[in-house]
Structure 1
């Protein structure tokens, strides 16, 4: 299947991630362990994605506790924002914040799939806007936006989020997702091929009649927040 994937779509082969994803799939995994596993998978995925997306730059010199001088490094100046998709994306925020050397802004997008059509509906958007003298130029937009969306099923929600960020004014988007259907992942990757890189824990082959991934992990939002049976 790998040869048929878009070039901007990456599927992790990390053995620890794959083992943790197998644990996440189990119906016996409770809410506490679901939160832990989603966090751990996001951390591994974030390491892989950011290693190829960020650069370090010299930031002068510093001194060690023993008084030796060393060449200090930091991430190349770049305006980064995390964009979790409500509500399940909240389970990935802490892992990526812990990974980055400095705190970054978090801007939430609320999207849900209309049950009959499975089309995305936006109900919340707090992307900031700071107008300038240049029409359509938004100085509040991040350079790099990192979408946190644990499950990409049909791909409609993720594609809509990418389009919102493109209109917001970002230069590039990283999508981090624990699990995707092949159809949904391709839809997200092809929404803005030149501006988007999609990083996935794994890809499952299909969807059921309700738009749920098969075999999948169930409804991660329900599992994270103990909303089962709603």
Structure 2
């Protein structure tokens, strides 16, 4: 992992390694898959936001005993969560738990075309995501946090990064459970100056169908019990 791009971060947290092992198992039921995705997202998100956020002084407040204290507020001031449908939905609650205040959640629907493995966008609810001039939207957040549990070929994640860049966001943090090294490199290279990729684990290979090997299967199917559809 020492040769990974500088904007790719793979956690070494021992609890993550243990939980990821549990998540990989074919015998893990859907209810536990949901819990594990939440727990892993919480830990990876905590590491990512510790590096990706800062605080600025806020107004003075008082404790219940009447003592004044200096408050702190998150910087940047505008943040959006962008889960990639469907599987990214399983990560939203964990990141919302970490952030001190509610933030908008904007959904992107992307799937891989089975033959070419190229990303296809089928849903986008970014408000005014491209301006008439094509220069982006001034109302875009300063920071967008992409929630994508699995980065396999990297095409879907890279397409999401490009869409958010066109929208006008200034910086992106990608939070993921598992990636394949070739795909993670591709996603990280899409906008290296403004994107940081954080993962719980990294595998080396992809199958001919673009699935991570050994991987953890299709997270969306496992979360929503649609395996074999």
TM over 0.5: yes
Q: Distance in 2 between matches of 1:207 and 1:138?
A: 36
Q: What residue in structure 2 maps to residue 74 of structure 1?
A: 73
Q: Distance in 2 between matches of 1:92 and 1:73?
A: 26
User: Match of 1:105, SS?
Assistant: coil
Q: What residue in structure 1 maps to residue 88 of structure 2?
A: 89
Give, in angstroms, the shift of residue 134 of structure 1. 7.8
User: Match of 2:2, SS?
Assistant: helix
Pairwise mapping of residues 40-189 of structure 1 onto structure 2 (< 5 A)? Answer: 40-129=39-128, 136-189=135-188
Q: Distance in 1 between matches of 2:29 and 2:46?
A: 26
Q: Relative to structure 1, is the Cα distance of residues 6 and 77 closer, same or farther in structure 2, using a 3 angstrom cutoff?
A: closer
Which segments of 5 or more consecutive residues in structure 1 lack a partner in the other structure? Answer: none
Q: What TM-score, normalized by structure 2, do the two folds share?
A: 0.96
Deviations 1:188-208 (A, max 9, x none): 001110010000111001011
Q: What residue in structure 2 maps to residue 197 of structure 1?
A: 196
Contact 1:180 1:203 in 2 (8 A): yes
Q: What TM-score, normalized by structure 1, do the two folds share?
A: 0.96
Q: How many residues align?
A: 229
User: Match of 2:19, SS?
Assistant: helix
Q: Distance in 1 between matches of 2:58 and 2:113?
A: 48
Q: Relative to structure 1, is the Cα distance of residues 166 and 66 closer, same or farther in structure 2, using a 3 angstrom cutoff?
A: same
User: Match of 1:192, SS?
Assistant: coil
Q: Relative to structure 1, is the Cα distance of residues 160 and 77 closer, same or farther in structure 2, using a 3 angstrom cutoff?
A: closer
Superposition RMSD on alpha carbons, in Å? 1.5
Which segments of 5 or more consecutive residues in structure 2 lack a partner in the other structure? Answer: none
Give, in angstroms, the shift of residue 139 of structure 1. 2.0
Q: Relative to structure 1, is the Cα distance of residues 137 and 156 closer, same or farther in structure 2, using a 3 angstrom cutoff?
A: closer
User: Match of 1:118, SS?
Assistant: coil
User: Match of 1:88, SS?
Assistant: coil
Q: Relative to structure 1, is the Cα distance of residues 84 and 132 closer, same or farther in structure 2, using a 3 angstrom cutoff?
A: closer
Runs of 4+ in 1 over 4 A off after TM superposition: 130-135
Q: Distance in 2 between matches of 1:14 and 1:148?
A: 19
Contact 1:152 1:158 in 2 (8 A): yes
Q: Relative to structure 1, is the Cα distance of residues 61 and 17 closer, same or farther in structure 2, using a 3 angstrom cutoff?
A: same
Give, in angstroms, the shift of residue 133 of structure 1. 10
User: Match of 1:229, SS?
Assistant: coil
Q: Distance in 2 between matches of 1:135 and 1:113?
A: 26
Give, in angstroms, the shift of residue 28 of structure 1. 1.0
Q: What residue in structure 1 maps to residue 22 of structure 2?
A: 23
Contact 2:129 2:166 in 1 (8 A): no
Q: Distance in 2 between matches of 1:210 and 1:77?
A: 39
